[in-house]
Amino acid sequence: IERLHSSVLHANISTALDKHLEAIHVVQARRKDDIVNASNRQRHGPPRCQDERVVLALALALQALCAATRKVRTVLWCAFQMTLPK
């Protein structure tokens, strides 16, 4: 987008993109934990409290990803509007 606009865009744009990528990585890590926990549960029986913590962590990570996605969509739309010819 910066190449189209031929100038540096606002710092919030790159910050929002970085936060979105970070949220994606957190969701991926929580999902891996959930998969490992599910496979351990099949072998050893159900330790219920640990399952709830893992699922809750995944749900919170998805909530943060949802918020970051909304913010990055808005930021990218604004950046696109700035790059349009006048």
Domain limits at 40? 3-83
In angstroms, the Cα distances linking 19 to 4, 34, 41, 63 are 23, 22, 33, 13
Which is more confidently placed, 82 or 27? 27
pLDDT tens readout for residues 15-56: 999 999 999 999 999 999 988 888 776 666 555 566 788 889
pLDDT of amino acid 82: 81
- Residue 69 sits at φ, ψ, to 5 deg, of -65, -45
pLDDT of residue 61 exceeding 60: yes
Residue 70's Cα: distance from chain center in Å?
A: 10
Into how many domains does the chain fold?
1
Instruction: Name the pTM for this structure.
Output: 0.79
In angstroms, the Cα distances linking 51 to 17, 19, 27, 35, 45 are 31, 27, 16, 11, 11
